[in-house]
Copies of this chain bind each other. A is one copy, B any other.
């Protein structure tokens, strides 16, 4: 599974333009490289159109937005829409402030996204206008379980239909869906939540995979989510041998992403398609 997706990344070395937050930007650049892409972190409004024009995908992350940055995002995104580059949105902590909610609202109005990735609280904030975000983490009351799985899939598909974007809900189980097909991905490890930016990094990897697979966004996104989850899992296995901490864990996650290939991925894939 996903052989062609990974092969395309490896062959094309997609250039990924990221307008992202300054907290996790370095990790995002490194994991784009590790995933087989090449990152350009350029946010200046006077150059974002030119930069995005030489790239294969655009990643927009609202982690630390300001007025100028939002204008750059929109300018870059409109250009990416024109030239047909996939755009990935990470609505970090949307729902935690009016600024974030308004910004995401405006982005969704002005830009056609290929993928929107968030935790369940963030996706709910977008879909339902609810506001349960407890900062950057998902609220416990929102967590997906067997009782609300069908309902969650339905609402993610509705959001996909409405926005035209593939929807990714990250969590203990990851959900990737367009309005028809849904991937449930069980790879990953809870300790990933103790490393800042694993969500941002996943969004960056989605950018890399989609940049090399423009005609197959759903599958590319599912492959990226699986790769990231499996990297977190393998990193935890390695970590538990050395009995060490969360910073070594961060290093190992990116390390495994840099070693990811079809064999490794298929050897560890825990996925269900509906």
A: residues with CB less than 8 A from B are 15, 21-27, 29-30, 33-34, 38-44, 46-47, 50-51, 54-55, 63-66, 68, 93, 96-100, 134-137, 194-197, 244-248, 250-259
Contact in complex: A66, B44 (CB < 8 Å):
yes
Copies in the complex: 3
- The residues of B that contact A64 with a CB separation of less than 8 Å are 41-44
- The residues of B that contact A40 with a CB separation of less than 8 Å are 93, 96, 135-136
Question: Which single member of B41, B98, B253 contacts A50 (CB below 8 Å)?
Answer: B98
Given the interface contacts A245-B254, A245-B256, does A134 sit within 8 Å of B54 by beta carbon? yes
Given the interface contacts A27-B26, A135-B54, does A247 sit within 8 Å of B247 by beta carbon? no
Report Cα–Cα, A99/B44, bound state, in Å: 9
Report Cα–Cα, A65/B41, bound state, in Å: 11
- The residues of B that contact A26 with a CB separation of less than 8 Å are 23-24, 26-27, 196-197
Contact in complex: A136, B255 (CB < 8 Å):
no
CB distance from A138 to the nearest CB of B (A): 11
12 pairs from A and B in contact (CB 8 Å cutoff): A23-B26, A26-B26, A33-B195, A40-B93, A40-B135, A41-B63, A41-B64, A44-B99, A50-B96, A51-B96, A51-B97, A245-B259
Contact in complex: B55, A135 (CB < 8 Å):
yes
Report Cα–Cα, A136/B54, bound state, in Å: 11
CB distance from A175 to the nearest CB of B (A): 23
CB distance from A180 to the nearest CB of B (A): 35
